[in-house]
């Protein structure tokens, strides 16, 4: 099974800051990866698919890149609604797996 390793596990930032989260796959997964935003009490929200494509309705301050084994999610100019936990999820094969999550909270 493919393992997804995210870093950091948490970070603190201020409104207006830029943050980058990393996700590494244990083998080549091409660009078969998405990113989810998850807030307590709510369902996860798909923000990125195909490694770098912004899901409809997601603000352009969120961007992502990567292929193969290394992927990044960047949020520029953090807004209050961006504070959440972010997860990568591969869809290369079964079983699928999430990264451990990165909690982004307010400094």
Cβ atoms < 10 Å from Cβ of 39: 12
Among 24, 44, 54, 69, binds other proteins (CB under 8 A): 44
Q: What angle do CA 12, 18, 24 make, to 5 degrees?
A: 80
In the complex with other proteins, which residue's Cβ is closer, 34 or 66? 34
Q: Does 37 bind other proteins (CB under 8 A)?
A: no
Q: What angle do CA 41, 46, 97 make, to 5 degrees?
A: 90
Piece of the chain touching other proteins by CB under 8 A; list 20-28, 29-37, 60-68, 75-83: 29-37
Among 8, 96, 105, 106, binds other proteins (CB under 8 A): 96
DSSP secondary structure string for all residues of 30-75: TT-EEEEEE-TTS--EEEEETTTEEPTT--TTEEEEEETTEEEEEE
In the complex with other proteins, which residue's Cβ is closer, 76 or 101? 101
Chain residues that interact with other proteins, rule: CB under 8 A: 1, 32, 34, 36, 38, 43-44, 46, 49, 55, 85, 87, 89, 91, 94-101
């Amino acid at each position: 099974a493919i393992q997804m390793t995210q870093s950091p596990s948490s970070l603190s930032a201020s409104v207006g800051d830029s943050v980058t989260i990393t996700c590494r796959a244990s083998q080549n997964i091409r660009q078969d990866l998405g990113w989810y935003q998850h807030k307590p009490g709510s369902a996860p929200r798909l923000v990125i698919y195909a490694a770098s494509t912004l899901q409809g309705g997601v603000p352009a301050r969120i961007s992502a890149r990567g292929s193969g084994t290394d992927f990044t999610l960047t949020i520029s100019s953090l807004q209050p609604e961006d504070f959440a936990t972010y997860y990568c999820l591969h869809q290369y094969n079964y079983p699928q797996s999430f990264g451990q999550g990165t909690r982004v909270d307010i400094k």
